[in-house]
Structure formats: structure tokens, C-alpha cells
Structure 1
Amino acid sequence: MSDDHTRVRDFFSARAADWDNRFPDDGPAYRAAASALGLRPGDRVLDAGCGTGRALPALREVVGPAGIVLGADLTPAMLKAATDAGRDRAGQLLLADVTRLPVRDASLDAVFGAGLISHLPDPAQNLRELRRVVRPGGVLALFHPIGRAALAARQGRQITADDLRAEANLRPLLAGAGWQLTSYVDEDARFLALAVREG
């Protein structure tokens, strides 16, 4: 396991048990983001870096009982918290590294990533891995339940010019990985960037 992976796993392991209690009001934002993916009943979706699985029920709602919902996370403690919360009933949980997914090429209709991009060790390469598992025309959603400015204020920091989630940085990063940014929303109540897999 790389130093980046160890750092991410340690960070989230220490916070897993209390994660949902820290952010109890995010449910509506997750439901709105899941709806924005444009998925249909029977579609297949992965929540990459699913954490405690807060997106899984919302994703299950949009793909219905015939759809496939996967939740992959690197941190066993987060997956345990997801199971303890009963979210494993909404989707299949995988202890997996989103930089090397145990998923067939072009087998999914969408990937959902909440708070994911800032934890990727090599965003350009890792976004190509997410592209690999999505069919042409499929969707990637990069989401956070609050926007960049609100998140920076919560963390007591300033937004910097090199923030990967800034549209000017994110658009070329996605394009280089084979995604076309189609929608970008960064407001206090949410951050949601949608991209379509090209080719």
C-alpha cells in the first residue's frame, strides 16, 4: 500500500464511527445529486470512495430494484459504519481501491464520487481508471454536499488557485482523462460537477 493510501485510510479510520453524526443533514443534497445523474431503472452505478454509504440509498432509489449499486472504499472502518447503518441493503459494498477497481471495463452507467477528488493520489491517472469502468456516454459525478467556499470556511482555510475542484482546473483535468465536463455547480449548498465519458 502506498503512503497516500495509508494516509487516506488512517484519516478515515479515525473518523468513521462518528462520520454520520458530524454531517447529519446531508441527505437531501445526496438525493438531489443522485437524481442529477440521469440514471434509469436497471442502470449500474458505483459510489467510488463510498465511505459510510450515505449515497447508496439515493442511488438505489434512482436505479430501482433491478439496478446494480456498488460502493467501494479503501477503509474497512468506513464500510463497517455503512453496514452498521444498514446501507449495505442499498448496495453491494467492496473493500477496494478506487485507483484499481475490481470492475470490468465499460460495465457501469455511472460513477458517483462524494468528496473523492481531493483524496486521489494521482487524479489524472485515477480519473482514467474511473473512465475505464464506465461505458461510452456514461456519467461521472464529483459531488460535495457544500461548495468550495463553504468547505474552506468550515476547515478554516482559503481557497487556493490550485484547487482541483475549480472549474478552470477541473475541466482540463477531466478532458485529459477522457471525460467532458457538462455541468458545473459550486454554490454554498452543494458542489456538483457532471462529466460524460467520451469515446
Structure 2
Amino acid sequence: MSDAAAEQARTRAFFAARAAGWDAKFPDDGPRYAEAIGELGLRGGEFVVDAGCGTGRALPLLRAAVGPDGTVLGVDLTPEMIDLARAHAADAALLVADCGRLPLPDATVDLVFGAGLISHLPGPAAGLRELARVTRPGGRLALYHPIGRTALAARHGRPITPDDLRAEPNLRPLLTTTGWHLTSYTDTDTRYLATATRT
């Protein structure tokens, strides 16, 4: 088994074991998701992929933002998460798939929304390149978490490390080399949101 495949298996097992209690563990995140998605400037008719959609908390918000003429696709590696996402799906399509190998044509997506995604990609550069492949030129990427890096590290009982991919000095060049241009970056106790445009 390759390193990437082993990492995927670990990720799938981690989330499979926690899927049933995931939403109950973070019951207050909904308004934060709504605020962040409201700021992304989505328009009716757009095609959005929720990459690593988990239990689907963002799906109804994304669906409302793109309207009845838009398309929302929730993708997650963990079947147990996708099963739970069906309750939130709000007419979104759901797919068990690897975000590093999406069964989508080139340059079709208007926005990729990734909540907590980047730290779970077994090969972040390859994963971001794949997200760039499916996104149209000028399309966007939103990397989100309902709390910032410092608060998240404290939640897990560890310090922030200098090699954290989500840190702006690390994220900007990573995005640049994978087909993206970082356009905004916010990292506070109550939000992490980095947005980029497909170059």
C-alpha cells in the first residue's frame, strides 16, 4: 500500500469512527458556516463542490446561495459521513470519492468549498492541483474552519507548529504552485477563511 493510500485509509477510519457523533460535538458551528458562505459572493446558477463535505452542514447553505439553477456536489472519502450528509443534502448530489481524484471534467466548477480539508489531504499539493483542474479559470477556492488555527490547536492540546500548511506564509506559495492565487486570508479565534482564485 502506498503512503497516500495508507493515509487515506487512516483518514477514512478516523472519520468513520466519529461520524455518528460529529454534529453533536460541534453544535454551535452553523451560524459561523452561514456567515462565511454568505461572504463568498455565490451567484444563482453556479456549480459548487463541497470538498470533504463530512456530514453536510454546509450543503443547504451552499444550495440556497446558488439557487434552483445552481448545482451543489458534496464529496467525501468516508461513506459513513456521506450517509449522514443525506439528511442535510437539500437537493445536493453526494459522492463518495477522493478529493485528489475527482470524477469531474476540467474547468467546470465555479467554487470549491473545503471546510477543514487541507489538513486531511494526503498530498496537499496534488490535492490542490486536482481542485484547480476541475475549477474554471477565475473560479474560486474557499478553505474554511469555524475556528482559527490557535483555537483549533488549543482544542487538540498542542501548539501551532511553523510547518502548519494553513499558515499564510506556507499556504500562499503552496497555492501559487498548484494553480491558485491567494486573494484573502483571515485567521482569528472565531474563523479561518482563506480564499483563492484559479489562475
**TM-score interval (norm. to shorter):** over 0.9
Contact 1:37 1:110 in 2 (8 A): no
Deviation at 1:28, TM superposition (A): 1.2
Give the ranges of 4+ consecutive aligned residues of structure 1 lying more than 6 Å apart after TM superposition.
Answer: none
Within the alignment, does 1:197 sit opposite 2:198 as a pair? yes
The residue type paired with residue 51 of structure 1 is G
User: What CA distance in whole angstroms lies between the structure 2 residues aligned with 1:131 and 1:45?
Assistant: 13
Contact 2:146 2:191 in 1 (8 A): yes
**Correspondence list, 1:135-154, <5 A:** 135-154=136-155
Structure 2 counterpart of 1:26 = 29
CA displacement, residues 67-90 of structure 1 (integer Å, 9 cap, x when unaligned): 00000001000011112xx21234
User: What CA distance in whole angstroms lies between the structure 1 residues aligned with 2:125 and 2:112?
Assistant: 16
**Which of 41, 60, 70 does residue 73 from structure 2 map onto?**
70
**Which of 5, 9, 13 does residue 10 from structure 1 map onto?**
13
Question: What 5-or-longer segments of structure 2 have no aligned partner?
Answer: none
Give me the CA root mean square deviation. Answer: 0.9
**Correspondence list, 1:94-113, <5 A:** 94-113=95-114
User: What CA distance in whole angstroms lies between the structure 2 residues aligned with 1:162 and 1:25?
Assistant: 29
**Which of 36, 40, 54 does residue 37 from structure 1 map onto?**
40
User: What CA distance in whole angstroms lies between the structure 1 residues aligned with 2:17 and 2:32?
Assistant: 25
User: What CA distance in whole angstroms lies between the structure 1 residues aligned with 2:7 and 2:166?
Assistant: 19
Percent identity (aligned): 64
Structure 2 counterpart of 1:124 = 125
User: What CA distance in whole angstroms lies between the structure 2 residues aligned with 1:30 and 1:181?
Assistant: 20
The residue type paired with residue 45 of structure 1 is V
The residue type paired with residue 120 of structure 1 is L
The residue type paired with residue 178 of structure 2 is A
User: What CA distance in whole angstroms lies between the structure 1 residues aligned with 2:41 and 2:126?
Assistant: 26
User: What CA distance in whole angstroms lies between the structure 1 residues aligned with 2:39 and 2:174?
Assistant: 22
Within the alignment, does 1:159 sit opposite 2:160 as a pair? yes
Question: What 5-or-longer segments of structure 1 have no aligned partner?
Answer: none
Structure 2 counterpart of 1:60 = 63
TM-score (norm 2): 0.96
Does 151-160 or 24-33 show the bigger shift? 24-33
Deviation at 1:36, TM superposition (A): 2.3
CA displacement, residues 91-116 of structure 1 (integer Å, 9 cap, x when unaligned): 11101110000111111101000000
Secondary structure, counterpart of 1:34 in structure 2 = helix
The residue type paired with residue 182 of structure 1 is T
Structure 1 counterpart of 2:50 = 47
TM-score (norm 1): 0.96
User: What CA distance in whole angstroms lies between the structure 2 residues aligned with 1:149 and 1:22?
Assistant: 19
Secondary structure, counterpart of 1:81 in structure 2 = helix
The alignment of Structure 1 onto Structure 2 pairs a total of residues equal to 196
The residue type paired with residue 70 of structure 2 is G
